[in-house]
Amino acid sequence: MARHSIPDIIERAEPRGARGIAPARPLAVSLLLSLRPAQWTKNLIVFGPLVLGQRLRDGVYVGTLLEGTAVLASIAAFLIFCALSGVVYLLNDVADREADAKHPIKRYRPIASGAVPVSVALTTAALLGTVALGAAFWLRPAFGLLGTGYVGLLALYSGPLKHVVIIDVLTIAIGFVLRAAAGAVVIGVAISHWLLILTILLALFLALSKRRHELVLLADEATSHRPILQEYSPYLLDQMISVVTASTLLAYAFYTVSPETIEKFGSDRLVWTLPFPLYGIFRYLYLVHQKEGGGSPSEMLQNDRPLLVCVALWVMVLSVIIYWSQIPILTRLIG
């Protein structure tokens, strides 16, 4: 695969004539961009327990001050984690502002470019974090503890943990596990071991693919922008990705046919959904290796239509199978 120089990367990442200075925007807009709303799709994992826990049509008591549906509780959890992830991004960008200022793409981030002062970013992070965690504890104390753990862990990642080989990607993966666990806690369902296993494996797959993308795309300049990359090589990352890919697919296959799953959903048809993760992961690997993607999983999901269609169909078919007995017309037609 061809390697790219820094000028090549800049040419592809920036519109012609946009180099040199950050776009002029109101402070409020720059601050919102620092929260990285495009990355909030990662928080959709909190809806996993809602679907797999068969709570889409159930009411659930979610705390001493709030009673409502499981759907509303999950939506609240999603919004809270969007706020908490925004806090993490603010802290990360403040910590990395000097290194980001030397990066051909990241130097245009609001904090690195100076569009958002450090004092404003830290004040916003403190206020937003306080409000979000307060809301989390109000919903459920256990949910608040998981939210606090998530912020604390990712704050440590912004500090020392991202400089420790292998621990860096494991930390990112555990962040996804905490989201999934929080989604279960907020609606009062048992945390599925299968969901946690699949979450950490899939998160590792995405994190390792991102590391590979950075290492290959930036080539010799990679370690100057992310020092931990000097501990990795494309070959090592390919080996890790291979292990995680196989483990993810096998875990999902075993999950669909396990007696526990069949008993829980009253159906052995979940195995019908296996082609979707197979195609999705293979499509992602194709984009990483052949199209030099993988830098942002959220952007790839939003911009690659086949991948987006695959995920949408997977969710739809999975939901139909899980709620089979609750859809009388399907029960009568298909049995």
- Global pTM reads 0.82
Mean pLDDT lowest for which of 4-18, 61-75, 122-136, 273-287? 4-18
Q: Look at 295 and 73; give whichever has higher pLDDT.
A: 73
Position of tokens 């292990």?
243
Residues 6+ away with beta carbon under 8 Å from 47: 74, 78, 183
Position of tokens 């195995």?
271
Mean pLDDT lowest for which of 152-156, 250-254, 317-321? 317-321
Q: Look at 267 and 7; give whichever has higher pLDDT.
A: 267
pLDDT in tens, 199-211: 999 999 999 988 8
For residues 247-259, average pLDDT: 93
Residue 58: predicted pLDDT: 66
If you ran DSSP here, which 8-state letter would residue 324 be given?
Answer: G
Q: Is the pLDDT confidence value at 15 over 70?
A: no
Q: Is the pLDDT confidence value at 141 over 60?
A: yes
DSSP string computed for 24-62 = P--HHHHHHHHT-GGGGGGGGGGGHHHHHTT-TT-EEE-
Cα 25 from Cα 32, distance rounded (Å): 11
Cα 182 from Cα 158, distance rounded (Å): 21
Tokens of 11: 């040419």
Express as a percent the part of the chain with pLDDT over 70: 82
Cα 217 from Cα 212, distance rounded (Å): 8
Q: Is the pLDDT confidence value at 10 over 70?
A: no
Residue 112: predicted pLDDT: 86
Residue 335: predicted pLDDT: 46
Rg of the chain over all Cα atoms, to the nearest angstrom: 21
Residue 215: predicted pLDDT: 83
If you ran DSSP here, which 8-state letter would residue 190 be given?
Answer: -
How many distinct helices (H) and strands (E) make up the chain? 17, 2
Position of tokens 């990352």?
237
SS3 content of the chain, % helix, strand, coil (to 5): 75, 0, 20
Q: Which residues pair with 215 in a beta bridge?
A: none
Residue 228: predicted pLDDT: 85
